[in-house]
Amino acid sequence: MSHYCHKSLILSESPLKIEGVALSAKILIVEDEPAIQELLCFNVLQAGFQALCAADADSMWLQIQNNLPDLILLDWMLPNTSGVILARQLRSQDATRNIPIIMLTARGEERDKIMGLEAGADDYITKPFSPRELLARIRAILRRHAPPIPDKMVSAGGLVLSPSSHRVTAHDKAIELGPTEFRLLHFFMTHAERVYSRTQLLDQVWGTQVFVEERTVDVHIRRLRAALEEAKMDGLIQTVRGSGYRFSVN
Ligand code: CA
């Protein structure tokens, strides 16, 4: 079985290939339904990204081993497994921990959405989706995961965050964080003692993208607190009723 999307082979041989495509982000599409895989692949390529495809968990891991993607589009329902399980596995391994994940699902219920995000996904899109929305979300996440964090060590309240090594330690003990929690914590540590609303946090941490819901902030705050809890530092992230959240060392 080819590990590349059928269409990517066609387009990569095309003389009309847009310059810079070779340097563009690699999107791994994990989807078992051929028609949807092809549609995703087509749209991803059209937007100038590279597309890699997998139809099950084994081929996903093989793809990752061969060619580390910049973002993963992960279907919820896969043969013998689920995107939620795979998202957790991706988040638990060093090589894949920081690769952003967008979950794809036919289930639009709120609790599924929360479950996907809690498993480690960065965003969530419901089938049938509009290609425009999908690409906007991909771009937003890639932008969010792109360099903008200044490469300067930050410390506050016993935590030390190093953007260059993407590590956080609490009293010299490593704390495992997903990419969004890492950015969120970096923002908080560099803006301590001030209250930020969910909208402000979305703008500052997620970028000015309209697609992310405010509830998403709460999910990531919960994940951040859970990660800090082991070091008994979850109290650094305070809920300010009716206003938002604050990072406070006091
Ligand atoms: Ca499926």
94-131 per-position pLDDT tens digit? 888 888 999 998 876 777 778 888 888 988 888 888 88
Q: 21 with 56, same domain?
A: yes
Q: 200 with 106, same domain?
A: no
Q: Is residue 154 pLDDT above 50, yes or no?
A: yes
Query: Ligand 1 mean position to 81 CA, how many Å?
Result: 10
pLDDT band at 207 (very low <50, low <70, confident <90, very high): low
pLDDT band at 46 (very low <50, low <70, confident <90, very high): confident
63-73 per-position pLDDT tens digit? 999 888 989 99
Q: Is residue 237 pLDDT above 60, yes or no?
A: yes
Tell me the percentage of the chain whose pLDDT exceeds 90.
48
Does pTM surpass 0.85? no
Query: Ligand 1 mean position to 239 CA, how many Å?
Result: 38
Q: 93 with 183, same domain?
A: no
Structural domain containing residue 212: 154-247
Distances from the Cα of 94 to the Cαs of 7, 49, 69, 71, 167, in angstroms?
Answer: 31, 24, 14, 15, 11
Q: Which of 144, 174, 202 delimits the end of a domain?
A: 144
Q: 135 with 167, same domain?
A: no
Q: Which of 125, 144, 163 delimits the end of a domain?
A: 144
Q: 100 with 24, same domain?
A: yes
Rounded-to-integer distance, Cα 65 and Cα 222, Å: 31
Domain assignment present for 149: no
Query: Ligand 1 mean position to 31 CA, how many Å?
Result: 6
Domain assignment present for 172: yes
Number of domains in the chain: 2
Query: Ligand 1 mean position to 91 CA, how many Å?
Result: 21
**How many CB atoms are located within 10 Å of the residue 147 CB?**
8
